[in-house]
Structure 1
């Protein structure tokens, strides 16, 4: 899969990463790019007031594409997921403070795919429900502008918004 970008959180410069290998967790995630014309399937999260691509962590026993299908079904109720194709890998390093780890190395494998336009029932995890997450179809330009405005004006923005906005701009440039 082609490499799209490597991002370092300001608290995790390259030299810090090299020193923290023993306390770094590597996490694989799969992210879905589902387009219908200029409309894209997104997840809106009320807590962070942002739009993200559907997807999430890939379980240890899963292939990345299996995790993509599972996450897309759980988070959006997507049906008949088909024509899955590689788009690219977004790699990032961020602070992490769980299970004795101080750093996370996130590998986001992004895929384009098609689904039926009608969504079914979601199966959100409790933290996703508490964060006010919901699937929405929206114009890609509106999603990009909304995230840019949130990054510029919100003190509650999440860490993932920069990744998501980069990906949205690249999707627009390359796929639309």
Structure 2
């Protein structure tokens, strides 16, 4: 899958530290200029639905599971690779200095009606909800959060980059 971008968090001075590798699958689901995203109240941002791939799953299986859990999506089909976003971020758990995160992004189609979500406890605590939103409004919202919020999460820059690339490549 093509590499879209590699980023290293400014707090990481050296990529030789103790790290672990995490793979995530993320879905790009469009309906005209509207896109299905997750709004997270805690961070006041919009992100692509998806998340970590479990042991024993391939990327597409992880994508399908995550979309069902986070959005209630059904009949997930027409899955096509879009690109991979790689990042190195600080990590303060389990004696690791950093996480090497690879987000594999896929375009796909789903049925129009969303079912019930199956959020994990931390996702519920963070106020995560699926939402169809105009992609340009989501970009503007995330840019405003990046410029004005001290509670933003580390993923907002990745997500905003991806949303802008989706506009450029898929909506142009």
Report the TM-score, using the length of structure 2 for normalisation: 0.98
Unpaired segments ≥5 residues, structure 1: none
Aligned CA RMSD, in angstroms, stands at 0.5
Deviations along 1:91-136, one digit per CA (max 9) or x if unpaired, are 0000001111110000000000000111000000000000000000
Shift, 1:60, TM fit: 1.5
Unpaired segments ≥5 residues, structure 2: none
- Residues 131-142 of structure 1 aligned to structure 2 (within 5 Å): 131-142=126-137
Q: Structure 1 stretch 4-13 or stretch 81-90: which is displaced more?
A: 4-13
Partner in structure 1 of residue 120 of structure 2: 125
Q: 1:47 aligns with which of 35, 39, 42?
A: 42
Distance 1:32 1:133 in 2: 16
Partner in structure 2 of residue 96 of structure 1: 91
Shift, 1:12, TM fit: 1.5
Shift, 1:63, TM fit: 0.1
Deviations along 1:13-72, one digit per CA (max 9) or x if unpaired, are 4xx00x21xx10100000000000000000000000000000000012100000000000
Q: 1:106 aligns with which of 101, 104, 122?
A: 101
- Number of aligned residue pairs: 171
Distance 2:92 2:62 in 1: 24
Deviations along 1:141-174, one digit per CA (max 9) or x if unpaired, are 0000000000000000000000000000000000
Matched position secondary structure for 1:72: helix
Partner in structure 2 of residue 4 of structure 1: 4
Q: 2:20 aligns with which of 3, 22, 25?
A: 25
Report the TM-score, using the length of structure 1 for normalisation: 0.96
- Residues 64-83 of structure 1 aligned to structure 2 (within 5 Å): 64-83=59-78
Q: 1:150 aligns with which of 123, 145, 162?
A: 145
Distance 1:62 1:115 in 2: 20
